[in-house]
Structure 1
Amino acid sequence: MARISLTPRRSLLFRAVEWYCKRTYGKVLDPARALAHNPRVLWTDLRFELSVAKWKELDPGLKALAVMASAASIGCSWCMDFGHWESQGRGMDVRKLRDVPMWRDSDVYTPLERDVMEYAEAMTANPPEVGDEPAARLLTALGEAAFVELTAMVAVENLRSRMNAALGLTSQGFKDHCDIPARPGTAAG
């Protein structure tokens, strides 16, 4: 259950966000509802996300796997739910989306995809545990511009997932269920 009300004051900004979300996603996104309690935070987040959406150096499939590996590491079921729905809508292999939380045990990923998810998890660890070898492999495979974008995307997803998890936002039903393995003493998303 969310730790903050998901019924903010219906400011002009929030009404515009509601309209956009319903038109684009079919429903208002819970993170937008939560952030709308502070219009400056919502406005800043919107501008930031619109800018991030323009980054195009990294392959979209690799970007999606990096984002979802970070979200799974943090335990953000909202991000896993939305990421699965969004990536499936873009034609990504459903098996790859389904297996993200257990990617090490799955045979559906290429060596490059495995390196991307390893890097995303290493960056997401607290403190980060990025090793020189995986970073060098990615830099060689992707080039500098895409490597920087990958690094930035993982950092962006850490912001999203940590904020959503802290606010208590959970799966919003974009996908039929969220594949986040339960941690000892917690329930799965």
Structure 2
Amino acid sequence: MARISLTPRRSLLFRAVEWYSKRAYGKVIDPARALAHNPRVLWSDLRFEQSLAKWKELDSDLKALAVMAAAASIGCSWCMDFGHWESRQRGMDVRKLRDVPVWRESDVYTPLERDVMEYAEAMTANPPEVGDESAARLLSALGEAAFVELTAMVAVENLRSRMNAALGLTSQGFKDHCDIPAGEGTPAR
């Protein structure tokens, strides 16, 4: 249960966010509802997220795995739910999304994907536990621009996940709407 009301004052900004959120995601996302209690925080978050969407140096699947590994480390069910849905919308393999919390035991990831998730977890630890060898492998595989973007995205996800977890935001059921139920066309995986 959220620790803050998810029914903020319906300011002009929040009404615009409601409209966009319903159009883009099918419902108003709870982080927007929570942040709308402080319009300056909401506005800053919106501008920041718009800026992040323009970052394109890092492969989108690697970025998604890094973000979800950080969210899983923190325990943000809202971020895991939304991240799964968002990545499925882009066509990412459902097995890779499903196995993020247990990536070390899964056989669906490439060595680079494993390095990315290990790095995300190491950055998320408190204090961070990033090793020189891990960073060097990623820097060599990705190049400097993508490595910087990876590092920034993990830091951003730490902000998102820690804020959502602290506000008590939990899954909104996005993941439930990703896959075709068994018996309706393609078998569920």
TM-score (norm 2): 0.93
How far is the alpha carbon of 1:175 from its aligned partner? 1.1
How far is the alpha carbon of 1:8 from its aligned partner? 0.1
The residue that corresponds to 2:115 in the other structure is 115
Amino acid at match of 1:160: R
Distance 2:86 2:75 in 1: 18
Q: Deviations over 1:99-139 (max 9, x none)?
A: 00000000000000000000000000000000000100000
Distance 1:142 1:56 in 2: 13
The residue that corresponds to 1:40 in the other structure is 40
How far is the alpha carbon of 1:176 from its aligned partner? 2.7
SS in 2 for 1:104: coil
How far is the alpha carbon of 1:174 from its aligned partner? 0.2
Distance 1:127 1:38 in 2: 30
Gap regions ≥5 residues in structure 2: 178-189
The residue that corresponds to 1:172 in the other structure is 172
Amino acid at match of 2:83: G
TM-score (norm 1): 0.93
Distance 2:61 2:101 in 1: 16
The residue that corresponds to 1:15 in the other structure is 15
The residue that corresponds to 1:154 in the other structure is 154
Q: Is 1:61 matched up with 2:49?
A: no
Q: Structure 1 residue runs of 4+, over 3 Å off?
A: none
The residue that corresponds to 2:182 in the other structure is none
**How many residues in Structure 1 have an aligned counterpart in Structure 2?**
177
Distance 1:61 1:176 in 2: 20
Q: Deviations over 1:74-115 (max 9, x none)?
A: 000000000000001101000000000000000000000000
Distance 2:24 2:141 in 1: 34
Distance 1:53 1:168 in 2: 25
Q: Deviations over 1:18-70 (max 9, x none)?
A: 00000100000000000000000000000000000100000000000000000
Alignment of 1:3-152 (within 5 A): 3-152=3-152
> What value does the CA root-mean-square deviation take over the aligned residues?
0.8
Once the two structures are aligned, what percentage of the paired residues are identical? 92
